[in-house]
């Protein structure tokens, strides 16, 4: 596990680079944190580190956004509004999750039983006004 504390949003690009190094080639990431902890804001920085030039925004209503990067396709999921697992099946989650492309998942608890066996968990805790604690952990079930 790796922990990084930040005191300003300008430090997020450094955290994104640290996460890429920590991942060591792993491409499936889940992001946990309370509402407004900064999951989407951090994912924007992470996508920049991956070389995404598209506008990165929360897929709250579309469930999944797709971005192109110089490392391939990046899928960004927000399962907050998911009513049941059937909705994940309806969007064809397997094609995304097992594509070999980057998958960035917000609100993974809504689809916990569908997650792959191995992934990187990123926990974001609010510790002050702009202060956040990031914890990276490799999960192998």
Q: pLDDT by residue for the chain (141 residues), tens digit each?
A: 999 999 999 999 999 999 999 999 999 999 999 998 999 999 999 999 999 999 998 887 789 999 999 889 999 999 999 999 999 999 999 999 999 999 999 999 999 999 999 999 999 999 988 899 999 999 998
DSSP H helices in the chain: 12-23, 39-50, 85-90, 93-97
Burial code (b: 16+ CB inside 10 Å, e: under 16) for 11-28 equals bbeebbeebeebbeeebb
Instruction: Please give the Cα distance from 67 to 131 (Å, whole number).
Output: 28
**What is the pTM assigned to this prediction?**
0.94
Phi, psi of 9 (to 5 degrees): -60, -25
Measured over the CA atoms of residue 121, residue 43, residue 58 and residue 39, the dihedral's sign is positive
- Residue 138's pLDDT is 97
Q: What distance in Å separates the CA atoms of residue 132 and residue 28, rounded to the nearest whole number? A: 22
For residue 122, CA distances in Å to 19, 90, 95 come to 9, 26, 23
What is the C-alpha to C-alpha distance for residues 74 and 43, in angstroms, rounded to an integer?
11
């Amino acid at each position: 596990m790796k922990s990084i504390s930040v005191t300003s949003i300008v430090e997020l690009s450094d955290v994104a680079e640290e996460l890429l190094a920590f991942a060591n080639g792993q491409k499936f990431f889940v992001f946990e944190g309370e509402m407004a902890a900064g999951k989407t804001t951090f994912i924007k920085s992470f996508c920049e580190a991956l070389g995404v030039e598209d506008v990165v925004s929360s897929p709250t209503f579309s469930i999944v956004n797709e971005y192109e990067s110089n490392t391939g396709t990046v899928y960004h999921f927000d399962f907050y509004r998911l009513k049941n697992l059937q909705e994940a099946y309806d969007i064809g989650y397997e094609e995304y999750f097992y594509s070999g492309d980057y998958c960035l998942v917000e609100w993974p608890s809504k689809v916990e039983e569908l997650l792959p066996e191995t992934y990187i968990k990123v926990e974001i805790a609010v510790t002050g006004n702009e202060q956040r604690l990031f914890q990276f952990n490799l999960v192998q079930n």
